[in-house]
Amino acid sequence: MRDGSELDQAWQTLMRSALLGSDRLPFIPSGASEALRFDSPPVDGALLLLKHAAFLAPLVRAGSMIPNRSGETQSAGGEAPPDNRPPANARAAAFLKQILAAPGRFLLLSEWLAECNEAGKRVPVDVLPDLLDVGRRRSLGPELARAVGARGFWLASQNPCWSYIIDQALVEPYPGAPEDLFAGNKTEDQARRMWNTAGKTMRLQLLRGLRNAKSPLALALVQETWDGEAASERAEIMTALGECANAGEAPFYEKALGERAREVRQAAASILMTLPGSALSERCLSRARALVRVVKPLLGAPRLHVAPPDDQSTDLDSDGFDRSEASAAGLGLKARMARFIVGAIPPAFWTDGAGARVTPEQFVAAARASDWSEAIVSGLRIAAIRFADPTMLELLVDPRATADLPWPLNTIGAVGLARRMDRAQRVSFELTLLEIPSRSLSGLIERVAALAQLPTERGICDIEVGRKFMEILTSFAVKTRDSGMRQPRRLAVMAGRCLPIEMTGELEEGWLNSMLVADRWREFAGEIQDSLAFRRNMIEEIKA
Amino acid sequence: MQFTEQQILALAPDLASVKAGRELARPVKWSATGFDGNALWGLCQGSGASPYRTQIDLAGPAFKCSCPSRKFPCKHGLGLLLLALSQPEAVPPSVEPPWVREWTEARAAKEDRTVDAGTERPAPTRTARSEKSIAARESKIAAGLEQLELWLRDLVRSGFAEIRSRSLKPFDEQAARLVDAQAPGLARFITEMRTALTSGAGWEERFLDRLGLTWLLIEAYRRQENLPDDLRSDVRGLMGWNQSQEAVLERDGIVDVWHVVAASAEMEDKLTVQRFWLLGLGTGKAALFLHFVHPAAPAKPVPFAVGDSFAGEVVYYESAQPLRCLVKSQETTVITGAPELGSLADGLAECASRSAALPWLTIQPLGAAAVYPFLGEIDCAGRIVEHETGLWLPLSSRLAPAALWRLVALSGQRPTAIFGEFDGGAFLPLTAWNDEGFVVL
């Protein structure tokens, strides 16, 4: 208390004497202290001081219990704007709190948010801080921004740690965003500031957001900073751009073919291959014509005539071919060149434009029968994925060769490509991924991790894919029951997250029972069962 | 299940047990679970070769587990109870296995014996406490006060400006001596003086305040015969004399609908003290119910959870400013809305008046109907601001950042009712509510 009152002065006098000691600075009562009267005042100065301390302390205490008036009391953001959507009910919120309290369940967050948004509800306000904290560490996309709503944005304006949610809306606009974030110069400035200052993940998200919004700003920003980017980032930027590339951008990618870094050249070539009319795609077509000719005899099945490429020629190298790459399938240089050439053109070329008209089935059969079958079939598989050709994908479900896909067509690269597929294509693609034989569980985990990233509906896989997944898992369980190998909880968590809840019944009756033959898989099966039950109850409560 | 999650968590001996219990509240962790209306049981695979046998008698609740943990209840007991609450289907109705039956039957038999013994022999009354032992304790306390007086006089004689640069051991020694002198309450005052010394800027004010109140208590105790009965009870209580619960329950209580508006917890040595704040919806009176949890002792269930309302009789301990209470009867649970609070100025005036009547009152209930939290500059402790008047109070540094942000999120800088504890300087919000809902911070 420092208000200059009589009581304050008496208290300060007492304080000085107490600090220095009553021997050095004897306490002499004055002002408010004089109200304390004694029949016989104590002779000892220390005792006098203690008695006055006992007298004044309660007065000071009670006297200080008044509210303050001066000073700042309004934050810059003012009051939070209203959000007309009702909050999710307390039971649904309890599920969200459980997810946030257990890092092992974070995978369920996106499903909770998506269900909440679909039900036209929002996150209850008291859960917002924990959710925004978790959102800093995990990319939850526009579902998070939509679910936290106006109060979430207001809260983020109060705490710089959560400003990412504002940037998030810039990266991935969503219906009902506070403003049209991609309109006007102000937003362009915000995007430029973010592109120039944000971390790699956020920059790539921004780029994808701008691409999805068909904004010309994406390429403009990339070109502005291209010379200063590290080689490793250039390759990733190039891949991100490639997901929605158009013919008008071909000159930029053509120029990137001259880059020093191999990954950048390959990424640029990979994009140009998919741009009809680009100089590179034209070169690829003419090489393909020279490589393979379809011979259609009057009797019998069509055959392929393959003219092996010249392995001394280096013109393929400037179009993204990696001469030094080791082939896991043991292909020689000429075979790898042939595979590259076939993989660079749309599969439809062989059935529609390679002279003789053949059906996809006929062409694949001819490729398998040819002397160059491994190279041609492998190249076709690359092309089927690269050009998202569902017919070819189905015909070529031979997982053994997929492991040999070159970058960026490895598992993770394929995730980006899967964005362009429709449901049927994606299911076929996912089945292909799962069927890749793995010598170890870690290989399977990698595949399932990729599966979890595929742009499926809310991260839930198709029932057909789910069955294939469980088939592989149970066969693993049976095979390894006596090996004493440790069952990875992560795989069970991902399975429990990705499998559709409609599978609960058949899982309990069939798959999980099969797993129980191996005692060590009991907890693993239980984890999946537990996750599915949790998700089912959670969805019921959100919809209630 | 007759328990709420809050009630179950209140049984936990510490926060680590709460976390571990939550982690175990998943069906995958359990096998052979069952429930027969009176008991819950299950097997939980731990690090040992055979699973732990966990059993809970819901009447207590009483816990038994074959795990080696010394905590009580252990994480398995809490986990099983939480599992039964959140996923009842994971603990299906079934018949008690022999290992559960053995225990529940033994418990029932013991209970019968206790009841029988109770009917045969009258319960010992407080009058049985010998006058002699009371006189002996008074004499010890008087000697302790003499010795403390000398020490305090020396302290102010030499001044405490440089006391922080010296060893603080004498404070611990003085506190220990007071415990030996059977004045544990006064020992706490000395411990608080020591805490004030290391409390950062403004420590001098806080130290002098504790010193003044300590001396006031010494003087009041010596002259207790001259004090009114209620204040005398306070003074004796502060010194360390407990009012027996039996004696308190004999007093007349206040019948009302009581709303459990907030709760807070503090560790005192190894003891967790939970404070439940009740508000009488008819009388407007505040009451404080204390619940003690020791990690090694069986916990009694708390009879209510924050947000509950019950019709019943609450009886105060004898005091010049009655706050601490016992629940004499708890009849029915009532569904009520949140209580109505007044203005910040009125709440503070009530605190000041209580403090003037009972200067040693350190923690008081305080609520305001339409306030919001304001954070201000970084490193600023934050304020609680009244919406209409702009009056404000500093927020307590005891408010955890997560709780502060929950409060900010709830209020959105709109008028919000906030209830909490006021220590004379800063305010610790414990619960808050507005049209967005009721939040325990």
Residue range B9-54, pLDDT digits in tens: 777 777 778 888 888 888 888 888 888 877 889 998 877 778 888 9
Mean pLDDT, all residues of chain A: 78
Quick count: other Cβ atoms within 10 Å of Cβ A236? Answer: 20
Nearest residue of A to residue B374, measured between CA atoms: A73
C-alpha closest to that of A498 among A506, A490, A486, A509: A490
Residues 6+ apart with CB under 8 A from B149: B218
According to the model, what pLDDT value does residue A413 have? Answer: 44
Tell me the Ramachandran region of residue A91: left when phi exceeds 0, alpha when psi lies from -120 to 50, beta otherwise: alpha
A54/B386 CB distance under 8 A: no
Tokens encoding A414:
């394929």
Q: Name the burial class of residue A460, with classes exposed (0-12), middle (13-18) and buried (19+) by CB atoms within 10 angstroms of its CB.
A: buried
B413/A75 CB distance under 8 A: yes
Q: Name the burial class of residue B35, with classes exposed (0-12), middle (13-18) and buried (19+) by CB atoms within 10 angstroms of its CB.
A: buried
Nearest residue of A to residue B382, measured between CA atoms: A73
According to the model, what pLDDT value does residue A400 have? Answer: 42
Out of A19-23, A74-78, B185-189, B362-366, least confident range: A74-78
Mutation site, A48, A65, A74, interface B, largest B CB count within 10 A: A65
pLDDT for residue B434 is more than 80: yes
CA distance B111 to chain A (A): 37
Residue range B228-256: average pLDDT? 90
| B residues 313..352 contacting A (CB < 8 A) | 344-345, 348-349, 351-352
Quick count: other Cβ atoms within 10 Å of Cβ A392? Answer: 23
According to the model, what pLDDT value does residue A457 have? Answer: 52
Mutation site, B8, B192, B208, B353, interface A, largest A CB count within 10 A: B208
Q: Which residues in chain A have their CB less than 8 angstroms from residue B405's CB? A: 129, 155, 159
Q: B401-414 burial string, b = 16+ CB within 10 Å, else e? A: eebbbbbbbbbbbe
CA distance B286 to chain A (A): 18
Mutation site, A91, A126, A136, A534, interface B, largest B CB count within 10 A: A126
B425 vs B47: which has the higher pLDDT = B425
CA distance A152 to chain B (A): 8
Query: Is B297 within 8 Å of chain A by CB?
Result: no
Decide: A335 and A372 in contact? Cβ < 8 Å. yes
Quick count: other Cβ atoms within 10 Å of Cβ B394? Answer: 14
Residue A404 DSSP code: G
CA distance A177 to chain B (A): 19
DSSP 3-state of A260: coil
Q: Which residues in chain B have their CB less than 8 angstroms from residue A78's CB? A: 413
Nearest residue of B to residue A155, measured between CA atoms: B409
DSSP 3-state of A71: coil
Residues 6+ apart with CB under 8 A from A2: A8
Query: Is B398 within 8 Å of chain A by CB?
Result: no
pLDDT for residue B120 is more than 50: no
CA distance A134 to chain B (A): 13
Decide: B79 and B23 in contact? Cβ < 8 Å. yes
Query: Is B355 within 8 Å of chain A by CB?
Result: yes
According to the model, what pLDDT value does residue A410 have? Answer: 44
B62 vs B225: which has the higher pLDDT = B225
How far is A446 from B425, CA to CA, in rounded Å? 57
Tokens encoding A501:
């809840």
Residue range B132-156: average pLDDT? 90
For chain B, report the end-to-end CA distance as a whole number of angstroms.
Answer: 25
Which amino acid would we find at residue A16?
Answer: R
According to the model, what pLDDT value does residue A459 have? Answer: 67
Out of A113-117, A127-131, B194-198, B199-203, least confident range: B199-203
CA distance B294 to chain A (A): 26
Which residues of chain A have a pLDDT value below 70? 1-4, 70-77, 167-187, 201-202, 325-329, 353-356, 390, 393-394, 396-422, 432-433, 435-459, 480-490, 511-512, 514-520
According to the model, what pLDDT value does residue A126 have? Answer: 92
According to the model, what pLDDT value does residue A452 have? Answer: 57
Decide: B153 and A46 in contact? Cβ < 8 Å. yes
CA A151 to chain centre: 24
According to the model, what pLDDT value does residue A493 have? Answer: 74
A67/B348 CB distance under 8 A: yes
Query: Is B68 within 8 Å of chain A by CB?
Result: no
For chain A, report the end-to-end CA distance as a whole number of angstroms.
Answer: 54
pLDDT for residue B220 is more than 90: yes
Nearest residue of B to residue A152, measured between CA atoms: B409
DSSP letters spanning A484-501: TPPPPHHHHHHHHHHS-G
CA distance B157 to chain A (A): 5
pLDDT for residue B99 is more than 50: yes
Query: Is B62 within 8 Å of chain A by CB?
Result: no
Out of B141-155, B292-306, B405-419, least confident range: B292-306
Query: Is B163 within 8 Å of chain A by CB?
Result: no
B392/A71 CB distance under 8 A: yes
Q: What is the four-CA torsion angle of B60, B65, B70, B71, rounded to 10 degrees?
A: -50
